[in-house]
Structure 1
Amino acid sequence: MVSLPYRETEDFIRYALDNAAIVATTDVQGTITFVNEKFSQISGYERNELIGFNHRILRSGVHDAHFFRAMYRKISRGEIWQGEICNRRKDGSLYWVDTTIVPHVSIAGKVDGYTAIRFDITARKRIEDELRASRAHHRAIANHDFLTNLPNRRRLRHYIDDLAARDGRAGRGFHLAVLDIDAFKEINDSFGHDSGDLLLQTVACRLQSFVADGVFIGRLGGDEFGIVLDGVSDDAAQAFHETILESIREPIRIGAVTRHCSGSMGYAAFPRHGRDATSLLKAADMALYHAKSLGRDRLELFHRGLQAAAEQRSRVFLEIEAGLKRGEFQFFYQPIVHRMPGTPVGLEALMRWRHPDRGLLAPGDFAVAFDDPAMRATLGMFTLDRVFDDMKLLRDRGVPLGRVAINLTNSDFRSEQFMERFFARCDETGIRLDQICVEVTEDMFLGRDHKRVELGLHQFHAAGVEVALDDFGTGYASLRHLRELPIDRLKIDRRFVSHITTSHEDQAIVSGVIDIAHGLGKVVTAEGVETASQARMLLGMQCDFLQGWYFSKACDTTILPSVIRRLPEMRDVLRGWREA
């Protein structure tokens, strides 16, 4: 996928808000303070007939008082409400909107207004009414996906089972592929459901051009499509599916801009990978997961090793869930030492798992968990609870601390829940925001959730939380990221530090990164410092913070205070060198 230039993206977002979303703001009493042009168009009222009037003028009478009481009870608590509402136009006709109401919460913590973002779903509701009105009509269209005009998941499953029965008797074979649009969630989240629907319709139209004798294509749901190819070899199936992927790569016009998208595909063969729709879909899904794990925009054929890997993944997930319940997970903390003596020691929180059979495990020993968005999100919420509790414990013991760094993943930004929990934990424990650093990696700015990541980092930065870019220099981050994103600290990867005393190239890289960072008003931490000579050279380069085994390995909170007390002795040695 090719990303849009910043200005072009900004123009597209403005286009989406002005031409797709129906936007209004009100005060806490429901008095309208702003509407966009789309709101006026769908309601039939001019702006001057809406602004200053209560939102009740749009009530249709379809919803009872209990509906609105439940809505207002939720938003008055500062919580986001989502649902479908029927409103009445100025001419008396009704229309339906998919509505999200976002409360505005003041610095004092009180709700002082609301923003409502709506999308017109009148056509969809009309179809739903028609479905309810006629059982015969319902039976006729129960196998049809209205958005894409393709057969739906139910019809596709029936087709696969029928084909399996027929080809099984005839000794023939067929292939089932599952296609996932790589860019779909990004477009849907960034530009709205209308743009996402347009993308789905465009892809569906391109897929329909491949339908022929022996080719059946349906929508499985979301941004996934199923493709059945009957009576061809593996090589022919691969060539056919590659052609489909090539068609997805063709530029797609969405609103005012052109998008470059891609798709990932996994496919399985009947009968060797499965003998019915359930088993074949499961196999194709595993192959799709493998394709996405290899970087997306590619095709993978199922093999038995994928099933073994999936079963192993499932076992690890179950073990992790059980381990979290049994309290087997904890955090070790590695000191981060400031170049200036007397400065409180910072820490990086590092997850550990005291496995009942395998002993103490680092994240690399259960890395499969971090490949799954849901498991990443679960571990992210656990991190917040445990690290804040540990910080409070250390504070209550009188341990002086600098910032404590928490490692984040893309999944932490996928919903508001993580951010809300973060700030709630600050309030509950009394930990100041300026005592926390959140660490992100370069690849988080390149994934499908990068817009959410960037928004979340701006929120953290504005609140006083330090933002660190970890493993700098090993990925694809550019100087543009340093200029445009709220990065406060760079962490130089240990691969550049390990040979700094012997490699002129690594010396030049590290020195250059430090100079650039300082020129941009940022601080630098060097990771992987294992010797005094490395520490001295980094101090000579004016590196701000040092972290590594030379100072301490990561340790738990029971011995951390004694480790921190010993650190000034090592810093005095370095200070003696600096002053000499």
Structure 2
Amino acid sequence: MTKPVEALHGNQSNLESEMVVMPHLEQMLEDISDKMRLPSRLDPGDCLIRDAFDSAYPVAAADVRGTIIYVNRKFCEMSGYSEEELIGSNHRLLNSGEHSTSFFRGMYRQIAYGKAWHGEICNRRKDGSLYWVDGTIVPHIPERGKISRCTSIWFDITERKLLEEELRASKENLKRLASIDPLTDLANRRRFQEHISSLVHEYPRTKREFHLALLDVDRFKEVHDTFGHPAGDDLLKTVATRLRAMADQHLLVARLGGDEFGLILTACSSEQANAVLEAAIEAIRQPMLIAGTSRRCSASLGVATFPMHAEDGAALLKAAGLALHHAKMNGRDRIENFQPEFRDIAEKKAFLLAEIEGGLRQGAFEFHYQPIVPLADHTPVSLEALMRWRHPQRGLLSPAGFQEGFADQQVRAAFGMYMLTKVFGDVTAFQSYGLAVGRIALNLTSSDFQSDAFLDHFFKLSAETGVPLSSFCAEVTEGMFLGPSQKRVEWGLHRLHEAGVEIALDDFGTGFASLTHLRQLPIDRLKIDRSFVANMVLSNEDQAIVRGVIDIAHNLGVVVTAEGVETVEQVELLTDLGCDMLQGWYFGKACEAGRLPALLGALPDCRIQRA
């Protein structure tokens, strides 16, 4: 093994002069030697070489004890010291304190074996400021084989180092921004999922369970729509501040998007986790300032535990999401822990939605029609179109048999478009075999007004088939005038009404509609809910409600239809109260389009002559 060159005895600080030469000094020596017609293995300490570099780069030399024996003008300019201050001083005069002992030990070891050292060093100027140099220290070895001195050439790389530091800081900042939600300054979805993955990955070693909770601010959209976007942001920031106050090394809080937050709890039991989450909900319940007014908000929260409820992060998130859904369905402002049956319910619903999609594609849904009988003479019988599903296994189903499907907004919208196509086809068939009927009532949902597609399709089918829009009645429910779609529903109803479509308010008296709706919206007809009709013969209270509704409607110029009529006594009483139209099993159940002529021909005659 090669032995170190003698004479570099004593303290390793002899090498801590931090005098550096430009990289590739040996190549430069060869280049200079060629130009000067000198041998390529010229002594780096030779005065000719020093003169060659003297005007271009900082050059210095030190003896084996670290005493500086030579500096050039460039070296003095870079260090801030004069030649007089440097010559005879120890190289430690320039020590910045930025490098470790092991750094200098490696430098010493390389030079001790007679090899040039290449690297970067941070030095300190006379004024105390730091600067970086890149270069090489070359040992001078005379014929005796002992190192007599070291020559170094420096290249100032301070600007490059500063730029690198800025880039490093920028990268760290970008990395931070990539994991932080900009609105709330909480961890974002990416950081949240990374933490889940890390805990799942560590579980085989740690055997530590953890709890994942998803939190939604209740009725956030109402606040956002009522007070505006800035108020919604303020609400989210307030919630984030209250949740952040609870965070510690065992609780990560993140904003996942919109009004959804995520919490991950470690090192605690299920009971302890629920206590923390109850405290979180209670913190959100406290009054907060929104758009200058004090309001109380609440939150719904779903919790799942790893590995009890799922074997991977994705499944755990899904389990917590199912628990959150049940918390909302059960009244909000509560915590719901995941139960295995939640997954069964979700899978059943997903299967139902897939079946519905298939049924729509295959045309398995059809419409049956129920008569709406007028009490006034010379008025044609109207019809209500009611959807039925001819299911391949379960037979003919009414909407009650697939009610869960209507909870999905996209499915409701698909039903609306399908309904128009089917009903227009049926009405065209009615006309072809001379069946004279009044208006066809169609049951609409708020999803039909989410875009212009439904109304545009309505008008397009009317133009293509020649069936006038005045042949239809659009039935809407009171709940459609509440919530974020209210404005679009109102706009759509006005558009339909102006085109000749009658507007009927269905199930009147069972929801939240007020007389204001009758005054402000283009309502042509009220339909009294069957719950009032069922007992009106025996109940004075129900009879008074029905009478009041009929009187108010007539005073406002609105027609009244009573639903759920099943007995002759109800027919007689409603006739005496002045109801305009009757609908129910007394006149017949809804039937297929082909059976309508027979049904209409067998209707009991209950029409009266009005003065």
Q: TM-score, normalised by structure 2?
A: 0.67
Unmatched tracts of structure 2, length 5 or more: 1-166
C-alpha deviation, 1:287, in angstroms: 1.3
Q: Which residue of 2 aligns with 1:418?
A: 454
Q: Give the drift of 1:357.
A: 0.8
CA distance in 2, matches of 1:233, 1:478: 50
539, 550, 562: which one aligns with 1:503: 539
Give the Cα–Cα distance (whole angstroms) in 2 for the partners of residues 297 and 420 of structure 1: 40
Change (3 A) 1:255 1:456: farther
Change (3 A) 1:239 1:542: farther
> 1:154 is matched with which residue: 158, 172, 190?
190
* Structure 2 CA distance for partners of 1:367 and 1:165, relative to 1, 3 Å: same
Letter in 1 for 2:392: P
Task: Please tell me whether the aligned partners of residues 369 and 590 of structure 2 are also in contact (alpha carbons under 8 angstroms).
Answer: yes
Q: Taking structure 1 as reference, are residues 401 and 238 closer, same or farther at Cα in structure 2, changes over 3 Å only?
A: farther
Q: Is the alpha carbon distance of 1:559 and 1:135 closer, same or farther for their aligned partners in structure 2, counting shifts above 3 Å?
A: farther
Are the aligned partners of 1:183 and 1:448 in contact in 2 as well (CA < 8 Å)?
Answer: no
274-283 vs 188-197, greater mean Cα deviation = 188-197
Q: CA deviation at 1:217?
A: 1.3
C-alpha displacement at 1:252, in angstroms?
5.2
Q: 3-state DSSP class of the match of 1:564? A: helix
Change (3 A) 1:169 1:453: farther
Equivalent residues of 2:370, 2:588 under 8 A apart: yes
- State the distance in 1 between where 2:457 and 2:334 align: 37
Structure 1: how far apart are the matches of 2:516 and 2:270? 44
Matched, 1:555 2:591: yes
Answer yes or no: is the 8 Å Cα contact 2:224–2:232 preserved in 1. Answer: yes
Q: Does 1:357 align with 2:357?
A: no
Name the aligned partner's letter for residue 289 of structure 1. H
Q: Return the offset for 1:171.
A: 3.8
Q: Secondary structure at 1:212's aligned position in 2?
A: coil
In 2, Cα distance between equivalents of 1:255 and 1:424: 44
The aligned counterpart of 1:460 is 496
Note the alpha carbon deviations across 1:348-398, whole angstroms, 9 max, x for none: 111100001111000100111011222222222212222222223323333
Are 1:536 and 1:574, in contact at CA under 8 Å, matched by a contact in 2? Answer: no
Q: 2:310 aligns with which of 267, 274, 293?
A: 274
CA contact (8 A) 1:331 1:350 kept: yes
Cα displacement (A) at 1:337 = 1.1
Pick from 556, 562, 569 the counterpart of residue 526 of structure 1.
Answer: 562
Correspondence for 1:409: 445
Match of 2:22 in 1: none
- What secondary structure is seen at the aligned counterpart in 1 of 2:543? helix
The structure with more radius of gyration: 2
* SS of equivalent residue, structure 2 residue 435: coil
* TM-score with structure 1 setting the length: 0.70
Partner of residue 354 from structure 2, selected from 286, 293, 318:
318
Tell me which residue corresponds to 1:575.
608
Whether the 8 Å contact between 2:553 and 2:559 is mirrored in structure 1 is yes
Asked if the contact 2:561–2:579 (Cα under 8 Å) also holds between the matched residues in 1, the reply is yes
Please identify, of 354-363 and 414-423, the stretch whose mean Cα deviation from structure 2 is larger: 414-423
Change (3 A) 1:176 1:491: same
User: How far apart, in 2, do the equivalents of 1:245 and 1:441 lie?
Assistant: 34
Which digits, 9 at most, give the CA deviation of each residue in 1:300-347, with x for residues without a partner? 221011100001001111111111111111111111111112212111
Match of 1:558, SS state, is helix
Structure-2 change in CA distance of 1:247 and 1:469 (3 Å): farther
Q: 1:284 to 1:469 in 2, by over 3 A?
A: same
The structure-2 alpha-carbon separation of the partners of 1:296 and 1:433, relative to structure 1 and needing over 3 Å to count, comes to: farther
In the alignment, which residue of structure 2 is the partner of 1:296? 332
Counterpart CA distance in 2 for 1:383 and 1:263 is 38
Please name the residue that 1:347 is paired with: 383
Distance 1:398 1:182, change over 3 A: farther
The counterpart of 1:337, out of the listed 373, 377, 382, is: 373
Amino acid at match of 1:509: I
C-alpha distance in 2, partners of 1:395/1:376?
29
Q: Which runs of 5+ in 1 are unaligned?
A: 1-130
1:179 and 2:212 aligned: no
Match of 2:178 among 133, 142, 145: 142
Match of 2:414 in 1: 378
1:496/1:150 CA distance change after superposition, 3 Å: same
Q: 1:203 maps to what in 2?
A: 239
Structure 1 counterpart of 2:513: 477
CA RMSD of aligned residues (A): 2.9
Match of 2:300 among 245, 258, 264: 264
Rounded Cα–Cα distance in structure 1 between residues aligned with 2:343 and 2:514: 38
Correspondence for 2:423 among 387, 402, 406 = 387
Paired position in structure 2 for 1:38: none
> CA 1:378 to 1:503, structure 2 compared with 1: closer, same or farther past 3 Å?
same
Counterpart code for 1:183:
R
Of residues 427, 449, 470 in structure 1, which corresponds to 2:485?
A: 449
CA 1:260–1:382: 2 relative to 1, 3 Å:
farther
Check the 8 A contact 1:178/1:285 in 2, yes or no: yes
In 1, are the aligned partners of 2:181 and 2:187 still within 8 Å (CA)? Answer: yes
Give the aligned partner of residue 566 of structure 1: 602
What does the per-residue CA deviation read over 1:439-461, in whole Å, with 9 as the maximum and x for residues that have no partner? 22223333443343334334333
Deviations 1:458-508 (Å, cap 9, x if unpaired)? 433344432222222222333343344433322111121122222222212
1:494 aligns with 2:494: no
Question: SS in structure 2 opposite 1:360?
Answer: strand
**Partners in 2 of 1:366 and 1:430 — Cα distance?**
33
Matched letter for residue 575 of structure 1? I
Is contact 2:376–2:607 with CA below 8 Å preserved after alignment? no
Identity %: 53
Query: 1:337 & 1:532 partners in 2: Cα distance?
Result: 14
